[in-house]
Structure 1
Amino acid sequence: MKKIYIFSPSLRVWHWVNALAITLLFLTGLYIGNPFFVGSQGLEATYAYGQRLTMDLLRMVHFAAGYVLLVGLLFRFFIAFFRKGDRLFLPKLRGDFWKGIWDMLLYYLFIKPQHPLYVRNPLARVVYLLVYLLLIFMVLTGFAMYGMSNPGGFWSKITGWVIPMLGGEFMTHMWHHWFAWIVIFFVILHVYMVIREDALKKSGEISSMFSGVKFLKKDPVDVEDVS
C-alpha cells in the first residue's frame, strides 16, 4: 500500500470546526423556525434567562456558529492558495474529468463494479464545489436576516441586497430553511460514502481526516494534485 499525505493540518482543523458549526446551526435553526418547548413562559424576564433555555440564548448560539462558519469559509479559501492538496474541490475542465464523473456515478449506483483510483474523484470535486457555494448562500441569507435587527448597521449594509433579490423577508427565510435541509442531506450522504469507501477499499478514508494520510494500492490518477 502506498502512503499518500493528502490533508494538511489546517484543512483537518477546519473540517471538524466546520462540522461542529453546521451541527449547531442546524439544531438551533430548527428551534428558531419552529419553537417546540415553552422556554421561559411564566417567568419574569429577570429570572427567565438563567433558569431555562430561551429564544435569545438559542439565537445567540445560532449567530455565533454563523460567524464561525463565515470565518471558516474565508480561512478555507485562503489556505487553498498555498497547497495543491487543499485545492481538491476545483474541477478540471478536460474530457477525462467529465468521463470520470459518469464512471463514479455508475459506481455509486452499483452499476459499475470498479472505477479509476483517485485521491479526490471528479464527482466528489463537483459536489464539494457546489457545497461551498451552498454554504456561501447560507451565510449571505443568514446575515441578511440578522442585519434586519439593526437597520443601517454593518450587516444591513453588506447583505441588504439579498432580501429584496429573494422576494422579501419571508421568502429569504424559506430559502434559508430549504437549503439548510440540503446541507444536512449532503452531510448524511457524505458520512455514508466515507464509511462505505473505507469499508470496501481499506484506504483509511475516515482516519485520513485525523492523520492527513490515505493508503492506496497504487498511484491514483490525480496524484499530482496533492504534491
Structure 2
Amino acid sequence: MKKVYLYKGFERFWHWTQSLLIFFLMLTGFEIHGTYQLVGYENAVRWHDNAGWAFLILIVFTIFWHVTTGEWRQYVPTLTNMKAQMNYYLIGIFNNAPHPTGKRLLSKLNPIQRLTYFALNILIIPVMLLSGFLYLYFNYPIQGIEINSLMPIAYIHTVGAYVLITFVIIHLYLITTGRTLTSNLIAMITGWEEMDEHEAEEAVQDVIDNASQYVKPVNGDKKKKKKKKKKKDKKDKTD
C-alpha cells in the first residue's frame, strides 16, 4: 500500500467550508419554511442571508483557484467509461467488483461524478444563488427585471434546495464505499489517498508524463551521450 497526495490544501478547505455552509443554509432554510423552531424566524432569515453571502464569496475564490491552477479540467464531462461506471454503481458496487475508474492526480473524478459536479456547479448552485438574491432584494428596483410575485422565485429556490439535499444524501452514502468505511473521508481531511502500488503508480503517471516535456538535455550533454554511445558501439564490435 502507498499514499498519494491527491487533494490539495485549498481544495480541502473549499470542500469543508462549502459543506458547512450548505448544511447551515439547509438548517436555517427549513426553519424559515416553518419545519421547526430553533433560533426564531427573524434570526433564521438573517443568518440564512449572511450564509448566502459567505457562500458567494467562497465561490468567487474557488473559481479563481480552479482557473489559475487548471483544476477546472477535472469537471469537464466525458463519456469515456460511462457505461462501465453506471454498471458499477447499479450492480458491481454490491458485489465487491473492482472500481472501473481509477483516481489520478489529473483526473480524480469518474465520468458520473464529472457530469454531476458539472451540473451542480453550472446549473443548480447558480440557480440557488440567483433565486436567493432575487428573493432577498425583491423590493429593490432592478433595471430590465420585473418581478410581480415572490412565489415563482420561492418555488425555484425550494426545488433547487431539495435537489441539493438529494445530492448531499447520495454523496454521504458514496463516501462510505471506499477501500474502507472511512478511507474517502480521511483522504479529504488529510489530502492523502491510500492506494495499492499499481494504483499509486497510475495516479501519478500523467503528472510524470506532463513534466517530462519540460525537461531536456542541454547541447553539451547531447554530445557527451553521442560520444559515449559511439565508444560503446566500438567496444561491442571489438568484443
Alignment of 1:177 with 2:166, yes or no, is no
Distance 2:44 2:136 in 1: 14
Which residue of structure 1 aligns with residue 216 of structure 2?
A: none
Aligned to 1:199: 180
For 1:140 and 1:7, how far apart are their aligned partners in 2?
30
Percent identity over paired residues = 23
Aligned match of 1:13: 13
Displacement of 1:102: 1.6
Supply the distance in 2 between the matched residues of 1:225 and 1:121 (Cα, whole angstroms): 18
| Structure 1 residues 110 and 223: alpha-carbon distance in aligned structure 2, compared to 1, 3 A threshold | farther
Q: Aligned runs of 1:1-227 on 2, under 5 Å?
A: 1-34=1-34, 36-37=36-37, 53-85=39-71, 87-91=73-77, 97-111=78-92, 113-114=97-98, 115-118=100-103, 119-133=108-122, 134-149=124-139, 151-152=140-141, 156=142, 161=145, 164=147, 168-199=149-180, 204-217=183-196, 218=199, 219-220=201-202, 224=206
- Kindly state the Cα deviation for residue 182 of structure 1 after the two structures are TM-superposed: 0.8
Where has structure 1 moved over 6 Å in runs of 4 or more?
none
Aligned equivalent of 2:233: none
Residue 43 (structure 1) aligns with: none
| Amino acid in structure 2 at the alignment position of 1:28 | T
Q: Against the structure 1 CA distance between its residues 87 and 209, is the aligned structure 2 distance closer, same or farther, given a 3 Å change threshold? A: farther
Partner SS, residue 3 of structure 1: strand
Q: Which has the larger Rg?
A: 2
Change (3 A) 1:208 1:35: closer
Shift of 1:185: 0.8
Residue identity matched to 2:125? L
3-state DSSP class of the match of 2:3?
strand
1:199 Cα shift? 2.3
Distance 1:190 1:215, change over 3 A: same
Instruction: Rate the CA distance shift 1:209–1:2 in 2: closer, same or farther, 3 A.
Output: same
**CA deviation after TM superposition for structure 1 residue 122, in Å:** 1.4
Structure 2, unmatched stretches of 5+, are 211-239
**Residue 6 to residue 30, structure 1, CA distance change in 2 (3 Å):** same
Compute the TM-score of the two structures, normalised by the length of structure 2: 0.72
Q: Distance in 1 between matches of 2:110 and 2:35?
A: 41
Inter-partner Cα distance in structure 1 for 2:48 and 2:7: 29
User: Which blocks of at least 5 consecutive residues in structure 1 are unaligned?
Assistant: 40-52, 92-96
Counterpart amino acid of 2:115?
V
Count of aligned positions: 197
Using the TM superposition, give the Cα deviation of residue 171 of structure 1 relative to its aligned residue in structure 2, in angstroms.
1.2
SS at match of 2:177: helix
